[in-house]
Amino acid sequence: MTPPPSPAPHSPGAFPRVRPRRLRSTPAMRRLAAQTTLAPAQLVLPLFVREGATEPLPIGSMPGQVQHSRDSLRAEVVRAAEAGLGGVMLFGVPVTRDATGSAACRADGILNQALADVVAEVGDAVVVQADLCLDEFTDHGHCGVLDAHGRVDNDATLEQYRAMALAQAEAGAHLLGLSGMMDGQVAAVRDALDGAGHHDVALLAYAAKYASAFYGPFRDAVESTLVGDRRTYQLDPANRREGVREALLDVAEGADVVMVKPAMSYLDVLADVAAASEVPVWAYQVSGEYAMVEAAAAHGWIDRRRAVEESVLSIRRAGADAVLTYWALELAGWLREDVR
């Protein structure tokens, strides 16, 4: 980047003519000069729904977040629509799991029932999104089917993703979030959807999803049974260029949107992907990011509202067109306050 020109010289003792502080002098001036903005329509709210729950169940490692019942989920998505959020992303928490995650592919599975509930409640007032991954539904906690040696079988997993995609589309999902990081998953799912006439269902590829420690609270939220780790299919945190490569592969396979996940520790990757992608780029502010801010704020170590706003703004500034964040509803309320 070419450095800005030096200010014009002035005589000794003269005051500076170039004063960048002029554009920071009042709240109105700062708003007018802002280079990055936030709006509710740029926010997506992740939501958990637990099979058999009769009331919302608090998630211990994510203060303020719950596993919803089907009834409380319907009420929450109405609030999301009224707040003008861009979308909701649903994750299912089943009671029983098996080796292939079969409940993910059944119409009576909790995630597919919840999708139908939500679409019936809010229609297309928000984009109803479904997590398309097997980890919540498998008894081993991996994102795919295991082979005889206990390794994730990429191609066998793609067959399950195709079946899961069809079930989610038939339940009414507007967009499917492919988060499993299997090679070829976008092409496989797009082929299945198009073959069944679901041409209008959009695909969000979690293209640059890194093997991160910041997913810990999420695994609590979905009651993950994972043993081991996912480093053979999620990206190595050491690799920056690989994130761009994965994103471009997914675009070539037909992804309508690509994702970088986590967000704050990977803003460099996000900026790279945003610069290279022809399709919208989103980022997921993950459970660990949320939990750290909430914990620090609970101790009085940081200003909670300012930290939340700054963290999401930084993700937008790095190039995200939309942000998945657990603060979406609260942040939307603050944004409405700011424009009054």
Angstrom distance (rounded) from CA 75 to CA 236: 39
**Nearest 5 degrees, angle CA 64-CA 322-CA 2?**
125
26 a catalytic residue: no
Q: How far apart are CA 113 and CA 97, in angstroms?
A: 16
Distances (CA, A) of 203 to 56, 251, 324: 29, 10, 15
Q: Which two tokens stand for residue 186?
A: 């976008």
3-state secondary structure of 269: helix
Q: How far apart are CA 256 and CA 197, in angstroms?
A: 17
Single out the catalytic residue among 261, 266, 270, 320: 261
Burial (CB count <10 Å: 0-12, 13-18, 19+), residue 260: buried
Active-site position among 97, 174, 198, 209: 209
Kindly compute the dihedral angle of the four CA atoms of residues 282, 288, 292, 294, in this order, to the nearest 10 degrees: 80
Active site residue 146: no
Residues tagged active-site: 209, 261
